[in-house]
Chain A
Amino acid sequence: MAMEAVYLGFVLMLSIFLGFELISKVPATLHTPLMSGANAISGITVVGAITSAGAGLSDWATVLGAIAVFFAMVNVVGGYMVTDRMLGMFKKKEAPVKDQV
């Protein structure tokens, strides 16, 4: 168990450094879509919720897991769709500008 905690700690540490490196220069127009897209990724907790709701554990784990699946799915589906809408909006705006140039 102790060793496993260390492994998980390494994974955590490396992912955090990677996350810092991934985002460097972001144009201001992309701030909100990037925030929204990252928010959708944090809905990954749905995977944990599924494990909790479907593994046939205690009643509490199942019920709490099922509620978590609901909220996490709202986050995932809503998050990706809203991000896509935001990005779609940009394209329409940018296209005429390019034509003029």
Chain B
Amino acid sequence: MSAELIGAVYIFAAILFIFGLKLLSSPATAVRGNLISSFAMLVAVLVTLASNEIIDYRWIAVAAVAGAIVGAVAARRVAMTGMPEMVALFNGSGGIASLLVGWAALYMSDSSHISTVVATPESPAVSAFTMITILISILIGGVTFSGSLVAWGKLSETISSAAVSLPGQRFLSLFNLVALIACSVLVFVQPAWTLPLVIAVIVLSLILGVMAVIPIGGADMPVVISLLNSYSGLAACAAGLAIDNSILIVAGSLVGAAGIILTNIMCKAMNRSLSNVLFSGFAATTQAT
């Protein structure tokens, strides 16, 4: 299928996503909304598979079938009370998928092996714009993944659901952020080190996600999951910018924006502000000391 036709079908899928999300927010139409949105996903996946670009279906088939089975079994088996933590796990897997897509985008511009991606400063393998979006999708995807895992752990009581504060947490978070920015800038200064630097950014983002969620108490986890859900949308959007795919950008940013509004609504329902929830652990620490 040609790129133009695929683009047209993507527009159709985007319309369905928008209607699906709209219908999902009202009780009478929520079931239909979910169905429409899942149909949109099916359309988007099928049309992508029909693209001229796709020449090798073996890997896709194996991975997609395995993923679908795992997802379906998990969704079927989970107890009604365990739903929020299941959503956290699904959200985390979406986050890591965006991280991987962003990472893979490094190697998508040229057809040869990894060593050639490490380009000379005169001719980087990917443009600066693509590099920035790759780094953003890795950062947000990584934070979403590890943050969601911690949220899952807290809800399922696998780890302590109390607001844990590590000694020197604030300093560590700040150090982590500075290291993240330093690595990201270095990628542009030293393109020869791209692979180790990208791996460093992945590791640092994963640590950042853990440190962001660990200080928040278990009772606030639904709000945190909603926020992380918004992040995973933004990660998909950044991955879409990296690989130049319009449906990823549209659907991802829709989820990103809708997720933030929903997070805000959930906070209001709990009579709290978002910053109140996010920094509750830090506040507890200051009170305790």
A→B interface (CB under 8 Å): 1, 4-5, 8, 11-12, 15-20, 22-91, 94
Contacts and interface: CB of A to CB of B under 8 A. Distances in A.
Contact of B254 (A1, A15, A54, A63): A15
Contacts, number: 368
A28 B267 CA distance: 11
A60 B104 contact: yes
Interface in B30-80: 30-31, 33-35, 37-38, 41, 44-45, 48-49, 51, 53-57, 59-60, 62-64, 66-68, 70-72, 74-76, 78, 80
Contact of B72 (A18, A60, A78, A94): A78
18 contacts: A19-B261, A20-B260, A24-B261, A37-B34, A39-B232, A40-B37, A42-B233, A50-B49, A50-B60, A52-B104, A54-B60, A58-B108, A67-B100, A68-B97, A74-B74, A88-B31, A90-B27, A90-B30
Which secondary structure dominates chain B's binding surface?
Answer: helix
Contacts of B112: 58
Contacts of B258: 19-20, 22-23, 38
A59 B106 CA distance: 12
B60 A69 contact: yes
B63 A67 contact: yes
Contacts of A32: 83-84, 87, 222
B152 interface: no
A87 B249 contact: no
Contacts of B265: 23, 26, 31
Contact of B97 (A38, A63, A75, A83): A75
Given A50-B45, A68-B101, 16 more contacts: A5-B129, A15-B253, A22-B257, A23-B258, A25-B25, A45-B252, A47-B45, A49-B104, A56-B111, A64-B103, A64-B107, A68-B96, A76-B68, A80-B37, A87-B31, A89-B80
Contact of B90 (A55, A75, A87, A91): A75
